[in-house]
Amino acid sequence: MKISLEQFAKRREQLMDKMLPGSIAIIPAAQMKQRNSDVEYPFRQDSHFYYLTGFNEPDAVLLLIPGRAAGESVMFCRGRDKLMEIWNGYRAGPEGVVADYNIAEAHTIDEIDMLLPALLDGISRIYYSIGRDEDLDQQVRHWLNLIRRNVRKGAVAPSELVMIDQLLNEMRLIKTDAEQAVMREAGEISAQGHIKAMQICKPGMMEYQLEAEILHSFAMQGCRQPAYSTIVGGGINACVLHYIENDQVLNDGDLVLIDAGCELDCYAGDITRTFPVNGCFNAEQKALYQLVLDTQKACIDLAKPGTLWDEVHEKSVQILTQGLIDLGLLKGSLEDEIDGGGYRDFYMHRVGHWLGMDVHDVGDYKVDDQWRLLQPGMVMTVEPGIYVAADNEKVEPRWRGIGMRIEDDVLITEQGCEILTASVPKEIDEIEALMASA
């Protein structure tokens, strides 16, 4: 665990400070998911739940009850079970939750239906993410109905349901020093995986072989799971934005686009690099690549406090569009190609997204219908790209089938920004030199 227990407790206190009096928050953990037959997917904790607890077991529910004299934090979790622990590993149990996770009170998850209605009685509002867990949604309704049946006996049911996501999303958007340290490490581990891929790449390899080298590099640094499905797209496959089949041969003369990042203590790295399979860019690849690189650098220069979120994207559109005009892939004026959307044939996504515990992390991009200003502690990706479809007959054949993207993780600081993934080469001569020396 990279974040201290004191940090998790502080987050719970900060959340309760934002809750209105007479309220309770209900935050569920993730559950195990069936893959096939009797095999389950690898467990990954719910981000909101882990952010508040650091507890990495399934089938748990956290309650936060500001002002409760008997303890403001209550958790329901799996009970200790000697037989199940032989098969599936250690469980903390209620005793371990209290002793090891700074939770005031804990019970087994089997007791939740018996104890929850009493905890809700007299509470005026529930903070809860309805719609994320259908089974728990039904339980919440059941608990409310139990209280309503006893109103003639003096029971008082909550009368207001508030989505808790907005409060947690805003908290998670600004990373603390401890979170920044974890993301810095995740960025470096991710970077080393990309460097390894550049060093071993050669014509005739399979896309999945590069993927295997990257995942192996992550795992050797303690990150057994990637933050998202790894993309290794050679040749025209790089023009498919979310290509994950990774089952084709890497051909001499093609580029390969790799979008991959590790997950470290539930925090994501997210890097994209594009490089020549044979180690040398040809003239067309070099021209488009330099345009994307120049665009990314200009956008990163804008990533600083006080910049509007959309300014970074608009800058990417302006530079890429003008560059495509200069190279002859677009024929109109800059104004016409932007206003008419001609550039979208080559650049169809936005320049970045928030990054944190989720690879597309939480947090609004607009506030009161205005683009959000960047602030210290935010982490974003900057990832312009150009994708020339293989069947795009509006351009000369020499450009067709070239796809590329360059992506780094950028922390907004008081002074400007810090590139968390700067270890991976992205200059043309640096990439070619690294691949030549391997």
Do residues 86 and 54 touch, judged by C-beta distance below 8 A? no
List, in sequence order, every residue forming a beta bridge with 308; answer none if it has no partner.
Answer: 373
409: annotated active-site residue: no
The CA distance from 340 to 346, in Å, is: 13
Q: Compute the half-sphere exposure of residue 77: CA atoms within 13 Å on the CB side of its CA.
A: 24
| 3-state secondary structure (DSSP) of residue 164 | coil
Of these residues, 46, 133, 259, 409, which one is catalytic?
259
From the candidates 185, 270, 409, 432, give the one annotated as an active-site residue: 270
In Å, what is the CA distance from 330 to each residue of 86, 282, 293, 325, 349?
64, 21, 19, 5, 18
Q: Is 387 a catalytic residue?
A: yes
Q: Which of 12, 48, 194, 405 is catalytic?
A: 405
How many Cβ atoms sit within 10 Å of the Cβ of residue 100? Answer: 12
How is residue 288 written in tokens? 């488009």
Number of Cβ within 10 Å of residue 44's Cβ equals 14
First to last CA, the chain: 35
Nearest to 321 by CA among 302, 336, 306: 336
Check 142, 148, 360, 398 and give the catalytic one: 360
245 is catalytic: no
194 is catalytic: no
Q: Is the dihedral of CA 308, 309, 312, 315 positive or negative?
A: negative
Give the position of tokens 């150009």. 386
Q: Which of 387, 408, 409, 432 is catalytic?
A: 387
What is the enclosing helix (H) or strand (E) of 325? helix 309-326
**Among the options 407, 408, 409, 432, which is catalytic?**
407
Whether the CB-CB separation of 21 and 66 falls below 8 Å is answered with yes
Residue from 383, 408, 409, 432 carrying the catalytic annotation: 383
User: In what helix (H) or strand (E) does residue 76 lie, and over which residues does it extend?
Assistant: strand 73-77
d(CA 65, CA 74): 8
Whether 349 is catalytic = yes
Which residue out of 349, 350, 400, 418 is catalytically annotated? Answer: 349
**383 noted as active-site residue:** yes
- Residue 211 in tokens: 């993927």
User: Which of 135, 152, 177, 242 is the catalytic position?
Assistant: 242
Concerning whether 270 is annotated as a catalytic residue, the answer is yes
Give the type of residue at 286: K
Q: Which of 68, 80, 125, 353 is catalytic?
A: 353
The active-site residue out of 17, 38, 393, 429 is 38
What does DSSP assign to residue 343? G
Residues carrying an active site annotation: 38, 242, 259, 270, 349, 353, 360, 383, 387, 405, 407
